[in-house]
Chains A and B, each alone.
Chain A
Amino acid sequence: MSAPAGSSHPGAGRILPKLGGVAAAGVAAPAGPGPATYQQNGPAQNQMQVPSGYGFHPQNYIAPSGHYPKGPGKMTSLSLDSQHDDYYSGLYTVPTQNVVTTSTVNQQPGAQQMYGRVPPPASHNMGSAPESFQGAASSASHLHTSASQPYSSFVNHYNSPAMYSSVASQGFPSTCAHYAMSTISNAAQASVSYPSLPAGDPYGQMFTSQNASTVRPIKDHSFSGQNTAISHPSPLPPPPSQHHHQQQSLSGYNTLSWSAPGLLSTQDNPVQNHTGSLVTASNNPTNTGMQFGEYVNNQASSAPTPLSSTSDDEEEEEEDEEAGVDSSSTTSSASPMPNSYDALEGGSYPDMLSSSASSPAPDPVPEPDPAPAPAPAPAPVPAAPQPAKVAKPFGYGYPALQPGYQNATPPLNSGVQPHNPAYSGFQQYAQQYPGMNQLSSSLGGLSLQSSPQPESLRPVNLTQERNILPMTPVWAPVPNLNLDLRKLNCSPDSFRCTLTSIPQTQALLNKAKLPLGLLLHPFRDLTQLPVITSNTIVRCRSCRTYINPFVSFIDQRRWKCNLCYRVNDVPEEFMYNPLTRSYGEPHKRPEVQNSTVEFIASSDYMLRPPQPAVYLFVLDVSYNAVEAGYLTILCQSLLENLDKLPGDSRTRIGFMTFDSTIHFYNLQEGLSQPQMLIVSDIDEVFLPTPDSLLVNLYESKELIKDLLNALPNMFIHTRETHSALGPALQAAFKLMSPTGGRVSVFQTQLPSLGAGLLQSREDPNQRSSTKVIQHLGPATDFYKKLALDCSGQQTAVDLFLLSSQYSDLASLACMSKYSAGCIYYYPSFHYTHNPSQAEKLQKDLKRYLTRKIGFEAVMRIRCTKGLSMHTFHGNFFVRSTDLLSLANINPDAGFAVQLSIEESLTDTSLVCFQTALLYTSSKGERRIRVHTLCLPVVSSLADVYAGVDVQAAICLLANMAVDRSVSSSLSDARDALVNAVVDSLSAYGSTVSNLQHSALIAPNSLKLFPLYVLALLKQKAFRTGTSTRLDDRVYAMCQIKSQPLVHLMKMIHPNLYRIDRLTDEGAIHVNDRVVPQPPLQKLSAEKLTREGAFLMDCGSVFYIWIGKCCDNNFIEDVLGYPNFVSIPQKMTHLPELDTLSSERARSFITWLRDSRPLSPILHVVKDESPAKTEFFQHLIEDRTEAAFSYYEFLLHVQQQICK
């Protein structure tokens, strides 16, 4: 087994998927012996299929059309059978037959027909639905393979979804094999109906069907969706199938995407679901590989189910997966396919489409093929007749999979169990991520657009590609080519890597000139999260890695760590699965089924009893502050949210105010009214009373309310202009140090008294300087030291800076940066003069006060031996090489990690990353949230390029650039950014692409790289030549460091939509509301027409730009004014009008708003108002007086490359 597998790995690239599949089968067979007939049968079948597949592939290439008719039924049955059989044992004979048929089928390329036929035959043969399912999926895959490469990739996707669906069915708790089968059969039938179904419906169904029964339909849908394209025809006559495919593509997409998510969800959670869907969509090649892998896994999982042979099974599974991958890769690599396929593919998966479609498309395909070739050729490959197949970059990834797969396989199995969560996840998912729906629904339309990106390696001539930005908002959430093979993998929303294929050596990474790093959003709000309570948390004995879906079980009693490869014992308790209430299936435990889990930690994980939630508010009440009037808003918000503050009965709260003196408030229960204690000795601050300043929220609630009501008016007549922030913070530290907790500091000016006083360092004349921007670093280390002290006492300091003048945020921010706090900045805040800021503060406070919070947290990031953490970015204190100390963790905090490859990864095909966040919940529970990400290792440069996650790379680069600006200079950082583009594109041009050198060529995966870098250069943090206040700049830098990727991307590259012609086309349904999904516009004034109205989503701000000649109907219906002239200059709300267009616009904006933690403020900008400069500076593709336009930037890059 191992031998073939190994061979397959290396050879995978060229051999192609089929070979891999064969190899896998072979492997399985050897492994199988233990399991008995089932397994053996399975492998045998697999083998059969593989050879046939191989042979077919070439044939397919040659004569794609012919294959369809014969193959499908048998093919599907085969694949299904093999998988199912393994799982269910009963169907062995069938599979073998199927195999044979498959071969024949393959020879006959009519993939569509195949599909259609497949489902029926499968059902017939199997009788049991599940088999048919798998069969269909497998058949689909086979078909794909047979089809041209691009097609195959599509097919793979389809298959994979199908697989997913099948998995899901299995996953259902109650689901038996029979169930699955029934569902499958349904699916096949359903598939027929599908085409008619609206895109939106599938989602709804998916969601609704949480129960096994319901689920099945869902799965069926997905399955059918995939099949539909393929299988539908089967019930029907072949001819219609093609049309169906195209038409269905939309529905199919939906279903597909769903199914993928479902898989993910089953494993991980809703989040994962997202990712899964995203992944599938975005990463075509990888996805296919992934899907295959999953596919395999499913089979494997079913087969291995239990028993002593588990390890073997796992191995087999792994091999299978690999094989599947290989096959997928091969297929992908194959020559261009028929248009119908492309259309189908395109319709179904946006990403897929792009990749798959593109592949067929034509031009690009050839190049990609070579790239994939590098993938190791599996031994079986001999058949690998299709050199072209190599084209898929993904192929390489596959070989690597094996180790992971073992682990993965269990997850697959586990997948069954997880399904329940997954389902719920789906529902949530659906709701939360309407985007997905949108994607799927819109994909159909997109296919045309997406077609340009057949694969991530398709070369794109940047200077000639006019519309580089995808039209769909879809890509925004799904941009990364993240997943290799697993539905099990962590959601990209939580965990992303800049290179989804990890280069084998540092040398290779250096050659690629791309940053390698992780982007984390570890504590984000999840709707579905498996929480595990057990006495023993299973961890590796040597590296302390938490058990995760990517470990491998050697046998029932031992598992092998996927990070350090140590073999560990499985504790007795772990043998029992609480989900299924069965014993002896450690690989089905939720820990092994989900890559995102949360453990309730025992007292071993506590240094002290869990602390209560403690909140201290430190408020500036100097003249400046009173003048700005933030106290009213704060106290109001606090009063409203007092009961919603996260915490338990021990929650404590306290208040301090300061100007030139420090005021404490004694709120001890029993007092008739709050007592104010003034400490005027700011040189040596002391606490006037030790124990009644932080009081129990519930016992002293009345006093607290009194205080909050009185506070806004208490200082109304103050004449004190000084601010003793430093001493106040020292006092706060003293107050908090016994317990730890959260300190919220509200500051409105430069601290001018006592320790930590600051001088104004900004020279307003230098604001628009193109030369040296100074003072980006702190002026004093007082705040840093204070933060470190606070961090040591588990206290985080959150800073709200509401100032109209320079306040040296660069120095003040240190108090939050190193204590794991967060920073909010409201420039020129005034409660009446600047209502939009006031509103923003109000909304931010609401979120801030009520969001989840974790106390006394630490986060450790582990990765596979050979990789090491290089630098961390975010707000925290680095306590050791892989341990971050986080006094508080909040759901809006993101982190970035740079990685380096210290040892060659040649002996491993997968690498894993695990973040474990240990925190105390607001309820006083010690919890550990664990995310695990698994990625393939590749050895060729082309593969590295194929796996680039542009958005992640940009965010990591932005973080690095911030560091560079502070440690060196802003111009250095800017140069470094430009060089990043120049280096990576020239490295690509000189090594991978062999096109003419005159053109600026980027792989499809990197095509947005220059655009994003240009956007970064024009971002507030890094721009020069445009007047930028120092505090604004520093704040932008702080945000880059601490924002999670999704929000950061909006900051860097806003989304522009045209909203005066919103239609329901492609709309998604969220909570019974219809949310229109207008296409993305590129950020250029050329897209703005005077007749239109545009919405720009900058993350923290929305702009609605109204053109001069905008349709009066729109203005009246949406804005509530009769014509353009009557629109006021400052408008921050859309009135709730009872018109269709108003409803659409509002639901769209609300939907955008709901997706982010900080409520953005809305500005309505008239074409001729002075505020329009704010709007126009975000049009980053245009030339400004100080910066390149996009095209000029490209020329500049090209020039640099040619040097």
Chain B
Amino acid sequence: MVLPRGPRAAFPRCPRRCSSPAMAFTFAAFCYMLALLLTAALIFFAIWHIIAFDELKTDYKNPIDQCNTLNPLVLPEYLIHAFFCVMFLCAAEWLTLGLNMPLLAYHIWRYMSRPVMSGPGLYDPTTIMNADILAYCQKEGWCKLAFYLLAFFYYLYGMIYVLVSS
């Protein structure tokens, strides 16, 4: 699935370079393309979080329901991010990996320090309404959104750079 899509998505963006004979499709370029797509997904995750916490703050949703919808999304997000971190590792893209390490470490820490829960997820309906935690989660959402957006363009640049330079 992913493989064919990556190149196709990338090609329209830079038709000229694609046609250039100097360009080669490397594993690194593939990683960037994959990351590009997955980051787009992560951006949606982040937006979803922000909206969800805003709804909590404005009393539109019951915290139990909200936590039930949010908790299943936490691990996938973390795993996606970890996944392309591993990909970058394999591709030896050290700079990109370095840029992602803080977030990866944060994710690990965050999940390690989650409240006692039997299911997956981070959010505890009994504490989520605490103003501090709510504000923290919202801030976290915005920060992640900003990070993913920047990362998205960085990957785009990185992909093109790899494609062109190789």
Contact = CB atoms under 8 A, between A and B. Distances in A.
A813 B57 CA distance: 28
Interface stretch (B28-36, B39-47, B126-134, B157-165): B126-134
B116 A788 contact: no
Contacts of A788: 64, 125-126
Interface stretch (A676-684, A879-887, A1120-1128): A879-887
Given A780-B116, A880-B59, A871 B126 contact: no
Contacts of A553: none
Interface string A308-331: 000000000000000000000000
Nearest to B67: A788
Contact of A881 (B117, B124, B126, B129): B129
A506 to B, nearest CB: 13
A882 B131 CA distance: 11
B141 interface: no
Interface string B43-59: 00000000000001101
B118 A870 contact: no
User: Which secondary structure dominates where chain B touches chain A?
Assistant: loop
A900 interface: yes
Nearest to B130: A871
A879 B118 contact: no
B59 A784 contact: no
Contacts of B56: 880
B132 A870 contact: yes
Nearest to A878: B129
A837 to B, nearest CB: 31
A869 B116 contact: no
Contacts of B125: 788, 877
A792 B125 CA distance: 12
Contact of B129 (A780, A782, A880): A880
A778 B131 contact: no
Nearest to B61: A880
B64 A782 contact: no
B63 A880 contact: yes
A785 B118 contact: yes
A880 B131 CA distance: 11
A871 to B, nearest CB: 5
Interface in A856-883: 868-872, 877-883
B126 A779 contact: no
- Among B115, B118, B131, B132, find the residue whose CB has the most chain A CB atoms closer than 10 A: B131
A891 interface: no
Contacts of B131: 868-871, 881, 898, 900
A889 B132 CA distance: 27
A881 B132 contact: no
Interface string A830-871: 000000000000000000000000000000000000001111
Contacts of B57: 881
B59 A878 contact: no
Nearest to B62: A879
Contact of B63 (A871, A878, A898): A878
A781 interface: yes
A470 interface: no
A1170 to B, nearest CB: 39
A374 to B, nearest CB: 30
A1000 B144 CA distance: 47
A659 B110 CA distance: 39
B116 A871 contact: no
A207 interface: no
A792 B62 CA distance: 11
Contact of A878 (B117, B126, B132): B126
B59 A780 contact: no
A818 interface: yes
A870 B132 CA distance: 7
B118 A782 contact: yes
A777 B130 contact: no
A818 B126 contact: yes
Contacts of B126: 784, 788, 818, 877-878
A384 B139 CA distance: 50
Interface size class of B (residues with CB under 8 A): 10 to 19
Interface string A1033-1074: 000000000000000000000000000000000000000000
Given A878-B129, A880-B129, A780 B118 contact: yes
Contact of B116 (A777, A818, A868): A777
Contacts of B130: 870-871, 878
A137 B118 CA distance: 66
Nearest to A814: B126
A878 B129 CA distance: 7
B118 A781 contact: yes
A898 B64 CA distance: 22
A881 B118 contact: no
A788 B63 CA distance: 11
B127 to A, nearest CB: 8
A868 B58 CA distance: 12
B63 A879 contact: yes
A788 B59 CA distance: 18
Interface string B101-119: 0000000000000011110
Interface string B91-105: 000000000000000
Interface in A772-799: 777-782, 784-785, 788, 792
A879 B66 CA distance: 11
A778 B116 contact: yes
A872 B125 CA distance: 14
A871 B132 CA distance: 8
A877 B63 CA distance: 10
A781 B117 contact: yes
Nearest to A870: B131
Contacts of A871: 130-132
Given A788-B125, A870-B131, A878-B126, A883 B59 contact: yes
A781 B56 CA distance: 22
Given A788-B126, A818-B126, A900-B131, A881 B64 contact: no
B116 A779 contact: yes
A780 to B, nearest CB: 7
A1107 B46 CA distance: 69
Given A877-B126, A878-B129, A792 B64 contact: yes
Contacts of B129: 872, 878-881
Contacts of A778: 116
Contacts of A880: 56, 59, 62-63, 129
Nearest to B64: A788
Interface of B: 56-57, 59, 62-64, 115-118, 124-126, 129-132
Given A878-B130, A879-B62, A881-B129, 4 more contacts: A870-B131, A879-B129, A880-B63, A880-B129
Interface of A: 777-782, 784-785, 788, 792, 818, 868-872, 877-883, 898, 900
Considering the complex of A and B, which 6 residue pairs feature the smallest CB-CB distances, nearest first?
A880-B59, A878-B129, A870-B131, A871-B130, A781-B117, A781-B116
16 contacts: A778-B116, A779-B116, A780-B116, A781-B116, A781-B118, A781-B124, A782-B118, A788-B64, A788-B125, A870-B132, A871-B132, A878-B129, A879-B129, A880-B129, A882-B59, A883-B59
